[in-house]
Structure 1
């Protein structure tokens, strides 16, 4: 069933305020207008100096919504892990995609993040009728209609759920990197440019395939 042409205007009005907690209002609006499956999409890992960009797409069950879902940045690691399990147990479909540092370096982080978002949507077992994308940009060649929702992880329950899934997965990936490359502190800073990380880069150099050589600190180190 097609979505009514008024969906963008109505969603824009919905995006004019931020609720106390992410809610299901945007998804419910789209469902009333004919979208049977609405997915939330978010990414993590745009800013780090190392590691992949990770995205997730989540289609929640309107009759079995997870409880306690919030913007992943406001949750502890333990809270995210517990909520990720609940989301996986209750959602109608979940998909995760990532692109490594080499792909990021070959283009740019924005393009890599958008490509990974599209991959996550493509990977959903249930084809969505509509996607709510966190941020200002809609991935090109998306297989469904979409709306870019600024601060979507604070507004939409589906986007917040995707944020939790993506953040929980990326943290696990960086913790594994810590095991393979001890001394950098990946399990603590998750690849971000902390003082510990920058000191380790100066002492031990960058890790090919893991560090993003197109990012400024790595470029500066390479010139020394």
Structure 2
């Protein structure tokens, strides 16, 4: 059972990201402040939920949350700063868009760039431990999926409506056949042979 908060009596925001391991598309993050008495037996780490369940939960979270927001960092920004820093920046952008300022942040993962003026706690696999992080994971995932579905209409050959930009075989075959798009992360090893060449050069 997921925990409602880390410390009672303070305003906590859970934060999580989606799309870190993708070859294409922006990285998304969400920040969610839930009421202390929030309960929903269906809410869990978004990776453990079906797509249908995630989309069913999204309006519930948005309606019942004290505050929620989504932050986005573009592929171009990812290439400039690296994906780890971009993931933290996406969380910062979500936090700064919250209508209520949290007193503490619960961050999914083991590292984070501190947000000015707000203490934080990193929680490994936090989306399976705290309701607010799980809620953030659902929002980040569904909003990013919406975005990738839109990009798939522009570039159908890459099967983004199915793979959401992750490195599937179909996605990589499309890169071999059609090349890269403006949405691909150019600093990533988009094909396995690129990684082998880089290691050989090293």
Instruction: Say whether the fold is shared (TM-score over 0.5).
Output: yes
SS in 2 for 1:131: strand
Among candidates 181, 186, 195, match of residue 213 of structure 1? 186
**1:119 shift after superposition:** 1.1
**What is the TM-score with the length of structure 1 in the denominator?**
0.83
**1:143 shift after superposition:** 3.5
Is contact 2:114–2:120 with CA below 8 Å preserved after alignment?
Answer: no
Task: Tell me the distance in 1 between the aligned counterparts of 2:115 and 2:15.
Answer: 15
**1:122 shift after superposition:** 1.0
Query: 1:198 maps to which residue?
Result: 172
Task: Report the number of matched residues.
Answer: 195
SS in 2 for 1:183: helix
Query: 2:25 maps to which residue?
Result: 51
Is contact 1:114–1:138 with CA below 8 Å preserved after alignment?
Answer: yes
Aligned Cα root-mean-square deviation (Å)? 1.6
Query: 2:2 maps to which residue?
Result: 22
Matches within 5 A, 1:155-166: 155-166=129-140
Structure 1 portions without partners, runs of 5+: 1-20
Matches within 5 A, 1:79-90: 79-90=53-64
**1:110 shift after superposition:** 0.2
Is contact 1:51–1:212 with CA below 8 Å preserved after alignment?
Answer: yes
**What is the TM-score with the length of structure 2 in the denominator?**
0.92
Is contact 2:73–2:90 with CA below 8 Å preserved after alignment?
Answer: yes
SS in 1 for 2:8: helix
**Cα deviations by residue, 1:4-50 (Å, 9 ceiling, x for unpaired):** xxxxxxxxxxxxxxxxx3221xx1x4224xx2x11100001110000
SS in 2 for 1:147: strand
The answer on 1:154 being equivalent to 2:121 is: no
SS in 1 for 2:190: helix
Query: 2:14 maps to which residue?
Result: 40
**Cα deviations by residue, 1:117-176 (Å, 9 ceiling, x for unpaired):** 111111100000011000011223334111001110010010000000100100000000
SS in 1 for 2:184: coil
Is contact 1:97–1:116 with CA below 8 Å preserved after alignment?
Answer: yes
The answer on 1:145 being equivalent to 2:119 is: yes
Q: Structure 1 segments of 4 or more deviating over 6 A?
A: none
Task: Tell me the distance in 2 between the aligned counterparts of 1:92 and 1:141.
Answer: 20
Is contact 1:22–1:71 with CA below 8 Å preserved after alignment?
Answer: no
Task: Tell me the distance in 2 between the aligned counterparts of 1:66 and 1:142.
Answer: 31
Among candidates 31, 37, 47, match of residue 8 of structure 2? 31
Structure 2 portions without partners, runs of 5+: 198-202
**1:64 shift after superposition:** 3.8
